[in-house]
Amino acid sequence: MKRVAIVGAGPAGFYSAEQLLNAGFEVDLYDRLPTPFGLVRAGVAPDHPKIKSVTRVYEKTARHHAFRYFGGVELGRDVTRDELLERYHALLYAFGTATDRRLGIPGEDLEGSHAATEFVAWYNAHPDAADHAFDLSVRRALVIGNGNVALDVARMLVLAEEELAPTDTADQALTAFGESGVQEVIVLGRRGPAQAAFTTPELRELGELTQADVIVDPAQLEGVEEPADTTAKRNLEALRDYAARQPSGKPRRLELRFLRSPVKILGDEQGRVRAVRFVGNRIEQGRAVPTGEEEVLECGLVLRAVGYRGEPVPGVPFDPKTGRIPNDDGRVLGEDGRPMRGEYAVGWIKRGPSGVIGTNKKCAAETVAHIVEDADLLPDPPGDEDIEAWLWRRAPDHVTWEGWKAIDDCERAAGEPRGRPRVKLVRIAEMLEAARSLAG
Ligand code: NAP
């Protein structure tokens, strides 16, 4: 039987695992965190439990007899690419795009200016963000970007305490949101209403906020050409509905503004964000072209939601221009531009940070088809040592699927009396302790 190591236990990793198992492969799924599910656990907003329920599909995959999970094992830190290649017929990189894209403007690193990806990680209890703090005592927050992440963070900032209470929002974030002074959130896009990257259900959802009026200045929609793209058309309809609404006096407001690019984040004497300078844009052939008109918006918090970006992993080919692993429909390409035997990529690190969770299923099908096609040419790996024994030596704290189930049980048990799906453990040490509790 051929063995594949998948690195990254998010949706792309799990869909690939499912399809490889169906094709008769053995699969070991590695993740650098003890916990699986990638952005389903640490990206999807806590008030979207239905989207998270996709984990049931992944759990079914994990029950397959030829599947093993090794959490808390980081490629490049605990094990190397070469070591994995010595032990598996194929290696499938599914580790996503770990960091944020930068704006590249002055003031980006002032206190109070954060990547939305960090904010998301924080409210979702990602261990990397366990020590982050966000000052929510400010009155106005600006969210830069017009994608679904921008909508997620804007919504989280205006949800009522009662709306967040029954979710799996990280405890520390629940407290901070409960004490938040944010009354106004402005989401700003560099292009126009017809070019926004939102998906329509996410945009429409803003209209259901109990604590915030959604504000769209009708003047922004005047003269906008009817887009050909269906999503853009529906988005425009949603924006027109918002523009026609009268504010109903809810305590908070969430405003959508378009055609503005941030050029500088301004700070006060203490080095804290106090405002952002924008330049106005007009659209020419779909592109934002500056008009030269400037505007300064005061604010105390800036969340930059302009996309994710891949990070290089030692030993694994990486294209710094695209932030991805160079590949041909999932076959990893070497420096000479030719496929590297036994190495594949899937998900965001293969195709870039776009699409919804389900997009990864199709993406996995493309890559897995290549692995199946190549299978006969993949030689048996030289290492005949027991992989588990090797891992116990190299990453003694690694977590198996049973270990994750122990963490899961512990989190669910903590959530149950509070009517929450779970109380997430934030620190790796707590997770490892919960995983060990399995042994009694
Ligand atoms: P995204 O959809 O690619 O949106 C990024 C936004 O940032 C775009 O509006 C882009 O504008 C803007 N941007 C990029 N560079 C900029 C700059 N220098 N200055 C100003 N604006 C800039 O990315 P995302 O929001 O991070 O989401 C990633 C993926 O996850 C998307 O496919 C998204 O749909 C998905 N997602 C889905 C959900 C959900 O289904 N509920 C939730 C979260 C995320 P331009 O268009 O002008 O480049």
Last residue of a domain, one of 378, 398, 418: 398
**Do 280 and 363 fall within a single domain?**
no
pLDDT tens digits, 388-417: 999 999 999 999 999 999 999 999 999 999
**Do 37 and 109 fall within a single domain?**
no
Ligand 1 environment, Cβ below 6 A: 103, 144-150, 152, 189-191, 195, 197, 199, 202, 261, 305-308, 353-356
Report the distance separating Cα 233 and Cα 239, nearest Å: 10
Residue 412 CA to ligand 1 center (angstroms) comes to 32
In a domain, 434, yes or no: no
Residue 326 CA to ligand 1 center (angstroms) comes to 22
Task: Name the closest-CA residue to atom 39, ligand 1.
Answer: 148
**Do 230 and 338 fall within a single domain?**
no
Residue 261 CA to ligand 1 center (angstroms) comes to 14
**Do 138 and 94 fall within a single domain?**
no
The average pLDDT across 267-294 equals 97
Query: The domain spanning residue 270 has which CATH number?
Result: 3.50.50.60
Query: The domain spanning residue 63 has which CATH number?
Result: 3.40.50.720
Identify which of 190, 277, 322 to mutate to test ligand 1's pocket (most ligand atoms within 8 A of the CB): 190
State which ligand 1 atom lies nearest to the alpha carbon of 104: 18
Residue 305 CA to ligand 1 center (angstroms) comes to 7
CB 153 within 8 A of CB 305: yes
Which stretches of 226-338 are assigned E, i.e. beta strand? 252-257, 260-267, 273-284, 287-298, 301-304, 308-309, 327-328, 331-333
**Do 214 and 156 fall within a single domain?**
yes
**Do 192 and 154 fall within a single domain?**
yes
CB 193 within 8 A of CB 143: no
Last residue of a domain, one of 289, 307, 325: 307
The average pLDDT across 209-231 equals 96
Residue 144 CA to ligand 1 center (angstroms) comes to 10
Task: Name the closest-CA residue to atom 18, ligand 1.
Answer: 103
Residue 26's DSSP bridge partners are: 3
Write down the residue that tokens 């870039």 correspond to: 352
Number of structural domains (the chain) is: 2
CB contact set of 283 (below 8 Å; sequence gap of 6+) = 191, 192, 194, 195, 259, 289
**Do 292 and 148 fall within a single domain?**
yes
**Best CA proximity match to 107, nearest among 249, 220, 272, 229:** 272
What tokens does 251 get?
Answer: 């305590």
State which ligand 1 atom lies nearest to the alpha carbon of 191: 47
Residue 308 CA to ligand 1 center (angstroms) comes to 8
Q: Any alpha helices (H) in 70-113, and if so which ranges?
A: 81-85
**Do 301 and 318 fall within a single domain?**
no
CB count within 10 Å of CB 233 equals 13
Last residue of a domain, one of 307, 332, 355: 307
Identify which of 119, 124, 149 to mutate to test ligand 1's pocket (most ligand atoms within 8 A of the CB): 149
In a domain, 404, yes or no: no
In a domain, 406, yes or no: no
Identify which of 200, 306, 308, 357 to mutate to test ligand 1's pocket (most ligand atoms within 8 A of the CB): 306
For residue 60, which phi and psi values (nearest 5 degrees)?
-65, -45
**Best CA proximity match to 34, nearest among 395, 420, 419:** 395
Residue 97 CA to ligand 1 center (angstroms) comes to 13
Task: Name the closest-CA residue to atom 21, ligand 1.
Answer: 145
CA dihedral sign of residues 195, 201, 207, 209: negative
**Do 129 and 242 fall within a single domain?**
yes
Q: Report the half-sphere exposure of 305 (CA within 13 A, side-chain side).
A: 29
What tokens does 222 get?
Answer: 């005047």
CB 114 within 8 A of CB 108: no
Print burial letters for 52-84: b (CB count within 10 Å at least 16), e (below 16). Answer: bebbeebbebbeeeebbbbbbbebeebbbbebb
pLDDT tens digits, 78-135: 999 999 999 999 999 999 999 999 999 999 999 999 999 999 999 999 999 999 999 9
226 is in which domain, residue-wise?
101-307
pLDDT at 439: 55
In a domain, 408, yes or no: no
**Best CA proximity match to 282, nearest among 194, 197, 355, 179:** 194
CB 97 within 8 A of CB 349: yes
Instruction: With cut-offs at 50, 70 and 90, classify the pLDDT of residue 385.
Output: confident
Task: Name the closest-CA residue to atom 7, ligand 1.
Answer: 306
**Do 278 and 142 fall within a single domain?**
yes
In a domain, 199, yes or no: yes
Element (H or E) spanning 122, and its range?
A: helix 116-123
Residue 355 CA to ligand 1 center (angstroms) comes to 10
308-309 and 99-100 as β-strands: parallel, antiparallel, unpaired?
antiparallel
Residue 403 CA to ligand 1 center (angstroms) comes to 35
State which ligand 1 atom lies nearest to the alpha carbon of 146: 9
**Average pLDDT taken over every residue of the chain:** 97
In a domain, 432, yes or no: no
Q: What end-to-end distance do the CA atoms of the chain give, in Å?
A: 34
In a domain, 418, yes or no: no
pLDDT tens digits, 17-67: 999 999 999 999 999 999 999 999 999 999 999 999 999 999 999 999 999
**Do 110 and 239 fall within a single domain?**
yes
Report the distance separating Cα 150 and Cα 281, nearest Å: 19
By the 10 Å C-beta count (0-12 exposed, 13-18 middle, 19+ buried), 133 is classed as exposed
What tokens does 145 get?
Answer: 């970007």
State which ligand 1 atom lies nearest to the alpha carbon of 306: 7
Residue 151 CA to ligand 1 center (angstroms) comes to 9
Residue 379 CA to ligand 1 center (angstroms) comes to 41
Give the chain's count of helices (H) and strands (E). 16, 18
Residue 425 CA to ligand 1 center (angstroms) comes to 28
The average pLDDT across 277-287 equals 96
Task: Name the closest-CA residue to atom 38, ligand 1.
Answer: 148
Task: Name the closest-CA residue to atom 14, ligand 1.
Answer: 306
Task: Name the closest-CA residue to atom 1, ligand 1.
Answer: 147
Is 68's pLDDT higher than 90? yes
Q: Any alpha helices (H) in 213-318, and if so which ranges?
A: 230-244
Helix (H, G, I), strand (E, B) or coil at 196: coil
Which pTM value belongs to this model? 0.97
**Do 39 and 178 fall within a single domain?**
no
Task: Name the closest-CA residue to atom 31, ligand 1.
Answer: 354
pLDDT at 433: 97
Is 440's pLDDT higher than 60? no
